[in-house]
Amino acid sequence: MEKIYSIILASGKGERFDYYKPKQFIKIAGKTVLEHTLDIFEKNNSIDEIILVINPEYRALTEQIVINNHYKKITKILNGGETRKESSFIGINSINVDNAKVLIHDAVRPFVSDRIINECVEALDRFAAVDVAIKSADTIIQINDENIIENIPKRKYMMRGQTPQAFKVNLIKKAHELSAKEENPEFTDDCGLIVKYNLADVYVVNGEETNIKLTYPEDIFLADKLFQINSHKVPENVSLNALEDKIIVIFGASSGIGSDICKIARDYKAIVYGYSRKNNVDVINYDNVQNALKEVYEKENRIDFIINTAGVLNIGKLEERDIKSITEEININYIGAINVVKAGIEYLKQTKGSLLLFTSSSYTRGRALYSPYSSSKAAVVNLAQALAEEFLPDNVKINVMNPERTATAMRFQNFGKEPDGTLLNSEKVAIDSLKTVLSDLTGQVIDVRKSRS
Ligand code: CTP
Ligand code: MG
């Protein structure tokens, strides 16, 4: 079978992004944008080889990233050129297989889907050039240098270009060679060259709104959110059988999700230590937390996973609530998480283990009558994102579960009986929590939803 090549363009400087390093090195959810993009191509079954085109100033950093991730498909790390076009030509020229199929992709589009990649590869059976584009919700207008409209093309025929762009390699080589012969070659992307020299029909695969290019500083906010919607699904292909003999410490273990996690982990033969105020371990007391972990470590000599489900929810207008109950709520929900993480990290470094915290869907947007709760849950997410980066060198993972409304005693106390079928079962949350600690994920918010079957 012929090989399918991909060229990942990462040689830009990211001037418009205005970060102290090129934007491909900014981190989202614990990983650089470049790694997110490379991960997608490394895992995609249609792609055989990755040719990485880099900025030579950042060769050491890039090579370290490639080594740390054990990428198997990367066969070349090439120094790029002054412009995207040059970088792309350098990548193309390195492929010496006649009529190979190649996809050229921006490293700074870390949300490209397998669906897009696969459709590009398939389309190359029928076309020698393929672009990816999305329909425009806005009307596209054509103006002149005086800002006067010249033309309003039919919106139906207007699309916005993305990457990857895919080609038979001989064709795109020829296009670049023609362009190189010109005195003032135009700055256009690879598909633009094919169109300019009228070398072939360029077929368009539907892109996706989420396949954004990080260009300006504000794009990082969107990127963070997209990660929350996109990849924050409960990890698949994780077997709970891997829990056997694992040492798990659970705070907030006496009821609700915490107690279900204990039960299920034990069913799968994990060795579980559960703590709560019932056995005199209060997460707001750092000594309590430290002592609990020490006790487990002295007995077992290792701790693999630490899970904190302790939390409280009190409803009411801030103005009407007393400061003591507000402070207590914040302490349990937020300081509790800090205590558990801070006391636990030394043990997890030894096992390259995993930490798990809990948030609520109100973390993305403060909710009236819940202000201390929703804001402390937002703080927990922010905390985990920061710590995921701090813990990366030690290979310790930290994630946050975000269950939908779940049937727990805490919920019943605050909301009374709710209609059947509207609440998530806390055993499902427990299973997904255990799958998460067993996975390689870090820095993620994992949404747990009711199965809508
Ligand atoms: N690129 C490249 N070589 C260049 C310029 C750009 O490989 N000489 C790559 C970038 O790394 C990026 C993609 O082409 O993945 C899209 O380019 P763009 O968004 O313009 O990135 P930068 O050129 O880095 O950003 P800026 O134009 O703001 O400096
Ligand atoms: Mg650029």
CATH number for 4-222: choose from 3.40.50.300, 3.40.50.170, 3.90.550.10, 1.20.140.10: 3.90.550.10
Residue 231 pLDDT class (50, 70, 90 cuts): low
Candidates 400, 329, 322; CA nearest to 363 is 400
Ligand with an atom nearest the CA of residue 80 = 1
Q: Residue 15 Cα, ligand 2 centroid: separation in angstroms?
A: 7
**Virtual CA dihedral for 222, 73, 391, 57, nearest 10 degrees?**
-80
pLDDT tens digits for 165-199?
999 999 999 999 999 999 988 878 999 999 999 99
Residues forming beta bridges with residue 166, ordered by sequence position: 103, 130
Partners of 143 in the β-ladder: 149
Pocket test for ligand 1, best of 23, 105, 108 (most atoms within 8 A of CB): 108
Q: Residue 402 to residues 142, 229, 234, 377, 429: CA-CA distances in angstroms?
A: 45, 12, 10, 10, 9
Protein residue closest via CA to atom 23 of ligand 1: 12
- Give residue-wise pLDDT tens across range 232-284: 678 888 999 999 999 999 999 998 999 999 999 999 999 999 999 999 999 99
User: How remote is the CA of residue 11 from the centroid of ligand 1, in Å?
Assistant: 6
Ligand 2 centre from 14 Cα, in Å? Answer: 7
**Which residue CA neighbors atom 26 of ligand 1 most closely?**
14
pLDDT computed for residue 404 by the predictor: 84
Ligand 1 atom closest to the CA of 10, numbered from 1? 11
Pocket residue to mutate for ligand 1, from 84, 85, 211, 218, most atoms within 8 A of Cβ: 84
Our mutation pick for probing the ligand 1 site, out of 23, 38, 106, counting the most ligand atoms within 8 A of Cβ, is 106
For residue 107, the ligand closest to its alpha carbon is 1
* C-alpha–C-alpha distance, residues 386 and 356, integer Å: 14
Lowest mean pLDDT among 256-270, 294-308, 354-368: 354-368
pLDDT per position as a tens digit, 15-69: 999 899 999 999 887 789 999 999 999 999 999 999 999 999 999 999 999 999 9
pLDDT at site 236: 81
Which ligand sits nearest to residue 88's alpha carbon? 1
Q: Report CA torsion sign: 122, 128, 132, 135.
A: negative
Q: Domain locations in the chain?
A: 4-222, 240-448
Element (H, E) at 397: strand 397-403
pLDDT, tens digit, 9 for 90 and up, residues 103-145: 999 999 999 999 999 999 999 999 999 999 999 989 999 999 9
Q: What is the separation of C-alpha 401 from the centre of its chain, rounded to a whole number of angstroms?
A: 14
Ligand 1 atom closest to Cα of residue 106: 15
Q: CB within 6 Å of ligand 1 — which residues? A: 9-17, 22, 24, 53, 80-84, 87, 106-108, 213, 215
Q: How far, in Å, is the centroid of ligand 2 from the Cα of 183? A: 21
CATH 3.40.50.720 fits 240-448, yes or no: yes
pLDDT at 299: 98
Ligand 1 centre and the CA of 108: distance in Å? 8
Is residue 229 scored above 70 in pLDDT? no
pLDDT digit string, tens, across residues 371-405 = 999 999 999 999 998 999 899 889 999 999 999 88
Q: Is the pLDDT of residue 453 over 50?
A: no
What's the rounded Cα separation, in Å, for the pair 35 and 12?
16
Percent share of the chain, pLDDT over 90: 82
**Beta carbons within 8 Å of 304's beta carbon, 6+ residues apart:** 246, 247, 248, 348, 351, 353, 354
- Report the nearest-CA residue for atom 7 of ligand 1: 11
Distance 215 CA to ligand 1 centre (A): 9
